Amino acid sequence: MPTQPVDLAILFEHPEWQKPLFEVLDARGVDYVAIDLKRGVVGGTDAIPAKVIFNQASPSAYLRGNTRAVPFGLTLLEGLEADGANVINGAPAFRFELNKAVQARLLSRLGIDYPRTLAFNDVDGLEMRAEEIGFPAMLKPNQGGSGARMHVVNDIAEIRDLLSDDATWAPDHVMLLQEYLPHDSDVDGIVRMEFVGGELLYAMRVHSDGGFNLCPSETCNPEDGSEGVCALPSAPPVSAGPRFVPFADVPAEAVAVGKQICAAGKLDVAGIEYLETGDGRRVFYDVNANSNLRRPIGLAMGFDPFERVADFLQAKIAEAS
């Protein structure tokens, strides 16, 4: 923990994801400190003497052997906010990102189309209600990340086999059975919208390669198609990796829903994904608070997205000064 006052503190777990932002902040001479959540100790009265604290912890930390970073980060955030710290993407946003079942309930309450979802911790209990979802279906962890442990399943027996190892239930021991949504990835793909300060930064189409690791970070899915360093997808890719394409004409109605989700989830910075099905549904299915930006997409639209995030952070620092 820093002992001297700073303008900005960034909480992080994955150093490669943060490097582009750190480089921009360094170039601007921003007075900041990076706090690694993998190695944390905090006392009952400790504070971070920063005008603004930016949480960039990721639910997928457990996939990199950093399982303890998430509960420690949440503990730290809740304590800091109870003391009145000025936190961007604070504890409410982080809890929302960690729990896809809660996302399903909130979006349903808001009247936003979300895949039909059952959260469960016991396959016998699931078998009694699986017809509510139907097969084929998606099996995924409640606390996900980087497409890991996602499977298309065709019956309960397949689910039993996949979940026979107790380690598969980690980290929160809750799994989801979710409506499978066929869509043409080659034509429309998935749309990911990035928001900063509640406003759309950019949108892009993501065309899957057959796997589920669609992390937009160039560290995870490099532009040249080489192997990244994110968690491995649960199914082998069938091509050189997913394709990310700028999408300047994202529908205003989709942007409005994205803003609604940001406000309801208390997300200051977010990546929100939806897909369009063949029967005309626009289904919002993933909400990310640790928003991994893809620089080439922003540059194709005329700006560096990390510069825009730095603008936002510096504006917050100015407000707190």
The pair of structure tokens assigned to 237 is 């890719």
CATH fold of 114-179: Dna Ligase; domain 1 (3.30.1490)
Domain borders along the chain are 6-97+315-320, 114-179, 183-302
22, 87 Cβ separation under 8 angstroms:
no
Other beta carbons less than 10 A from residue 240's beta carbon: 12
**Would you state the pLDDT for residue 233?**
43
Cα–Cα distance measured from residue 119 to residue 98, given in angstroms and rounded to the nearest whole number: 13
Q: Do domains 114-179 and 183-302 have the same CATH topology?
A: no
Q: Cis (ω within 30 of 0) for the bond into 171?
A: yes
Question: What CATH number matches the domain at 6-97+315-320, 3.40.50.300, 2.60.120.380, 2.40.40.20, 3.40.50.20?
Answer: 3.40.50.20
Greater confidence, 148 or 277? 277
- Per-residue pLDDT band for 189 (boundaries 50, 70, 90) equals confident
Q: What are phi and psi of 119, to 5 degrees?
A: -95, 140
Instruction: Convert the pLDDT of each residue in 95-109 to its tens digit.
Output: 999 999 999 999 999
What local confidence, expressed as pLDDT, does residue 110 receive? 97
Whether residue 184 is predicted with pLDDT greater than 80 in this model: the reply is no
Superfamily of domain 183-302: ATP-grasp fold, B domain (3.30.470.20)
N- to C-terminal Cα distance for the chain? 21
Residue 198 Ramachandran class (φ > 0 left, ψ -120 to 50 alpha, else beta): left
Angle value at C-alpha 227, between 188 and 275, nearest 5 degrees = 20
pLDDT value of residue 237: 47
214 or 64, higher pLDDT = 64
Residue count of the chain, please give it: 321
Per-residue model confidence (pLDDT) at position 239:
53
Q: DSSP code of 232?
A: P
Q: CA nearest 217: which of 295, 315, 275?
A: 295
pLDDT of residue 238: 47
Beta bridge partner(s), residue 78 = none
321, amino acid identity: S
User: What does the mean pLDDT of the chain come to?
Assistant: 91
Sheet holding 32-36, edge to edge: 32-36, 6-12, 50-55, 87-88
From the list 212, 225, 201, the residue with the least C-alpha distance to 178 is 212
pLDDT given at position 290: 78
Tally the C-alpha atoms within 13 A of residue 240's C-alpha that lie toward its C-beta. Answer: 7
Whole-Å CA distances, 102 to 122, 137, 174, 253: 18, 19, 12, 23
pLDDT at 74: 96
Q: Which of 7-11, 146-150, 186-190, 241-245 has maximum average pLDDT?
A: 7-11
Do residues 42 and 1 lie in contact, with contact meaning Cβ atoms separated by under 8 Å? yes
Which of 94, 21, 88 minimizes the C-alpha distance to 308? 21
Q: Which two tokens stand for residue 2?
A: 């820093």
The answer to whether 295 and 20 are in contact (CB under 8 A) is: yes
Sequence-separated (6 or more) residues with CB below 8 Å from residue 246:
202, 203, 204, 297, 300, 301
Query: What pLDDT, on the 0 to 100 scale, is given for residue 228?
Result: 66
The secondary element (H helix, E strand) that includes residue 146 is none
Name the percent of the chain lying above pLDDT 90: 74
On the question of pLDDT at 232 being above 90, the answer is no
Q: What pLDDT is stored for residue 229 in this prediction? A: 63
Biggest CA–CA distance in the chain, Å, is 59
